[in-house]
Structure 1
């Protein structure tokens, strides 16, 4: 897994990968946002909903910690062995949004993630135990790793998915 030399390096990578990912959707017509194609497991709207869901989970975990609440990851309603149910929740949550609205929401939420990263001290971001929510799994990852796994990594893999979707759709 990629590591980061600094807070700014993480911010730069998230910014770059988010832009590359979301720009792929600008050529997709809203009428096709819910279209499946063979060989791609999600629709364009589901791909963005997945990203929104994870970013907002991180933001909610952070807010709950600030409010003195104990965070249960991924959520009290979904366990790590039921991520399919969680993903369906994400899809349902954003199902009625237009593609333009999803893109706008994605860009706003990336900004919130960047602001969150900027608020951390380096030791909080790069050392284990930076937040209670980051210690809720046996691996007890540092916050940067949670952020990478739920932003940069899927931005890259889902960019490949939307590109394949566009190719198979003739877009």
Structure 2
């Protein structure tokens, strides 16, 4: 799918990739959510399906935080307070820990909530706010949202498909 260039394309990309991801997640039995079976986000690590969902929740909630802080005129600490862009493996580990206590159903519900909250923030903005000017460095707000929603949803879908081929459907 091409990189979204408009509000409508961004919303479509998020919905499409999220739907594909959800179809794969629905095929994973709850008792298998915590089994380490997927290549991790940090080199040489292995994660569970639950960790993968936690990672997506973490990034989604960060996007919401960035947008909300920016809207209030507050500084945004990219990617997250206490983390630098070259420490994303450590940030992934934080996300895994943050959501480890959630059941599979709670993880999926929280992921859906973050996606819906991001889409609401997109709908609240016009084309100029999303794609008319740089928002972070050279990147527009729309591009930053895409980097942290539809792209990771597609990546997670691929990881789940690879896991299923290696381990079978359950």
TM-score by length of 1: 0.88
Q: Is the 8 A contact 2:4 2:10 kept in 1?
A: yes
State how far apart, in whole Å, the 2-side matches of 1:119 and 1:163 are.
34
Q: Deviations over 1:8-47 (max 9, x none)?
A: 121011011111112211121222111123x633310111
The structural deviation recorded for 1:117 is: 0.6
Shift of 1:5: 4.5
Could you say which residue in structure 1 is the equivalent of 2:157? Answer: 159
Distance 1:56 1:142 in 2: 18
Q: Verify: 1:95 aligned to 2:100, yes or no.
A: yes
Structure 1 position 140, deviation (Å): 2.6
Where does 1:99-110 land on structure 2 (aligned, <5 Å)? 99-110=104-115
Structure-2 residue corresponding to 1:71: 76
Structure 1: segments with no counterpart, 5+ residues? none
Equivalent in the alignment of 2:20? 20
Q: Which runs of no fewer than 5 residues in structure 2 stay unpaired?
A: 41-46
Question: TM-score normalized by structure 2?
Answer: 0.88
The structure that is strand-richer by fraction is 2
**Distance between the aligned counterparts of 1:149 and 1:5, measured in 2?**
13
Query: Structure 1 62/5 Cα, relative in aligned 2: closer, same or farther at 3 Å?
Result: closer
For residues 47-86 of structure 1, the aligned pairs below 5 Å read: 47-86=52-91
User: Which has the larger displacement, 153-162 or 39-48?
Assistant: 39-48
Residue in structure 1 matching 2:145, options 144, 147, 158: 147
d(CA) in 1 for partners of 2:90, 2:4: 32
The ranges of structure 1 where at least 4 consecutive aligned residues each deviate by more than 3 angstroms after the TM superposition are none
What is the CA–CA distance in structure 2 between the aligned matches of 1:112 and 1:46, rounded to whole Å?
A: 21
CA contact (8 A) 2:21 2:154 kept: yes
